[in-house]
A and B are shown apart, each in its own frame.
Chain A
């Protein structure tokens, strides 16, 4: 399954809402889709699994939604620490695959 993320770069100000898209080349069964956040020099950090369940310790400003082939990560009220690269990943099929990432940068 090929995952295509858009936009490639999102330029926003702190406090604004970020909407990130992940589109799959075929249906992701059972909403087996995850979102990760990665900051420079760090490993990815799990944010969302099952398309909409927040991982342990993830603030509720992070919201995942969608099903089938279209998924969205919404960050309501960007905090300074949220500026990073975000990846979606499907685990419905093997091999597991990742999107190419969306960079959220400070405007």
Chain B
């Protein structure tokens, strides 16, 4: 199984960050999928996860701004983070798992700047 993040590398402040993770070599069905991010300021941070059925769990620190969705027909899952600020600048990873994450994407850098 391989994961690949895609989406804009630059987002304007107060805008919405949107990323998609494409799953290849496997299926989204019957698995949990997660989004995480990493920045020098906050280290590794779990954003949330989604089951293939659509059930989600979010980090309370981000819950008001986060939406994770899944499209099993496309073997993809997605992240939307609204009202972004410079503090949301980070490398964003998608991964498989609800507890520990056993498969990770390579990560994509998202910068919040005008």
**A positions within 8 Å CB-CB of B:** 32, 34, 42-46, 49, 55-56, 87, 89, 91, 94-98, 100-101
Q: Which of A34, A42, A91, A94 has the most CB of B within 10 A?
A: A94
Which B-chain residue is minimally distant from A90 (CB atoms)?
B99
A34 and B44 alpha carbons, distance in the complex (Å): 13
Q: Are A96 and B104 in contact (CB under 8 A)?
A: no
27 intermolecular pairs with C-beta atoms under 8 Å apart: A32-B99, A42-B106, A43-B93, A43-B95, A43-B107, A44-B93, A45-B104, A46-B100, A46-B101, A49-B99, A49-B100, A49-B102, A56-B102, A89-B44, A91-B98, A91-B99, A94-B59, A95-B59, A95-B60, A96-B46, A98-B43, A98-B44, A98-B45, A98-B46, A100-B43, A101-B43, A101-B44
| Nearest Cβ on chain A to B88's Cβ, whole angstroms | 16
Output the least CB separation between A77 and chain B (Å).
25
B18 within 8 A of A: no
Q: Is the CB of A95 within 8 A of B104?
A: no
Residues of B within 8 A of A94 (CB): 57, 59
Contacts A32-B99, A91-B99; is A97 near B46 (CB within 8 Å)? Answer: yes
A44 pairs with B100, CB closer than 8 A: no
Encoded as 1 (CB less than 8 Å from any A CB) or 0, chain B from 25 to 50 comes to 00000000000000000011110000
Residue on B nearest A87 in the bound complex, by CB: B44
For the complex formed, measure the closest distance between the CB of A82 and the CB atoms of chain B, giving whole angstroms: 19
* Contact of A89 with B106 in the complex, beta carbons under 8 Å: no
Q: How far is the CA of A44 from the CA of B101 in the complex (A)?
A: 9
Q: A43-B107, A49-B100 are in contact. Are A95 and B43 (CB under 8 A)?
A: no
Which chain A residue has the least Cβ–Cβ distance from B98? Answer: A91
Chain A residue at smallest Cβ distance from B61: A95
Contact A43 B105 (CB under 8 A): yes
In the complex, what distance in Å separates the CA atom of A100 from the CA atom of B43?
Answer: 6
